[in-house]
Amino acid sequence: MEKLLKKYIQNLHSKNLSQNTIEAYTRDISNFIKFLKSREENLNSIHTDTIMIYAEKLQREGKANTSVIRNIISIRNFYKYLIINKFVEEDPTLAYDIPKKVKEIPKILTVEEVDSFLEQPDTTTDKGIRDKAMLEIMYATGMKVSEILNLTVFDKNLEMEYIKVKRKNGNERIIPLGRAAVKALKEYLKVRDNFNIDHLETLFLNTKGTKMTRQGFWKIIKIYAKEANINKYINANTLRHSFAVHLIQNGADIKSVQELLGHSSIGATQIYTFISQKNKIEEIYKKAHPRA
């Protein structure tokens, strides 16, 4: 099964898909193959009930609805490839009804939780200094994980206190950096050479001296969330969501937040207005109701 996965990944590379997409397919299908091995099944012998059991397993593990949907779609695309190349005869996913995608409301942190979270990196170590800079920049700018990981040393301007983010269409957006982010980034730049063994232009590097992966960044988030005793479900973009809501709560207009986040449509930004209003109503209720 691993050989077939390897051939499939090579096929994906030939289609010029993004590295993030290929990594997601690889991860999803690798996990599915492990599941089949644990049941002593193979790609050619399973039926729809196996797909149903796998989807239920993902849900029991606490995977979000969107994650379950993505996994099944990954498996379905894998089977399309297997059938076209005559490695298997039937697609067990075809009779499985993929659940409808429900738009989930992003979880956010309070200002106090963000402060606690950002204090967790150990800034007596090079790694802690790097982590502190990455997280401070994410909260200061609302950048996506992929945008932070793709930053180069030429995208920052510490004198003018801003950072440039390249868009897919080739355009750029300029985002201001707060004092805390500028300070953290300056400290990181003092030790960056200790990571940059191959003289790369990438701003943030892992301990091996290469570009950090999304999985590597996610591990950092999980570790510091646990150390800060944050019990909410969070993901790698929670700081981005918190950035947007906190701006709106403090008077920023929706159009400016849209520009800072890089949303092409204001509709994608309006969810943060809803979250802000919802949080405000809950806060008023807790303060005003005698039995809240």
What is the Cα–Cα distance from 215 to 17, expressed in whole angstroms? 18
pTM: 0.65
Do 201 and 116 share a domain, yes or no?
A: yes
pLDDT of residue 102: 55
Do 217 and 120 share a domain, yes or no?
A: yes
Do 59 and 195 share a domain, yes or no?
A: no
**CATH code: domain of residue 21:** 1.10.150.130
**CATH code: domain of residue 269:** 1.10.443.10
* pLDDT tens, position by position, 123-145: 999 999 999 999 999 999 999 99
Do 37 and 117 share a domain, yes or no?
A: no
* pLDDT tens, position by position, 88-131: 888 888 877 776 655 667 788 999 999 999 999 999 999 999 99
Do 174 and 261 share a domain, yes or no?
A: yes
Do 243 and 183 share a domain, yes or no?
A: yes
Question: Is residue 102 domain-resident?
Answer: no
* pLDDT tens, position by position, 264-288: 888 788 888 877 776 666 666 566 6
163: enclosing H helix or E strand: strand 162-166
Question: Is residue 228 domain-resident?
Answer: yes
Alpha carbon 268 to its chain centroid, in Å, reads: 17
Question: Is residue 56 domain-resident?
Answer: yes
Question: Is residue 161 domain-resident?
Answer: yes
Q: Provide the sign of the torsion angle of the four alpha carbons 104, 271, 25, 195, taken in this order.
A: negative
8 Å CB contact between 92 and 53: no
pLDDT of residue 162: 92
- Give the range of the structural domain holding residue 153, as residue numbers without chain letter: 111-288
Here the tokens at position 279 are 């949080």
Count up the domains in the chain and report the number.
2
Do 167 and 227 share a domain, yes or no?
A: yes
Do 189 and 260 share a domain, yes or no?
A: yes
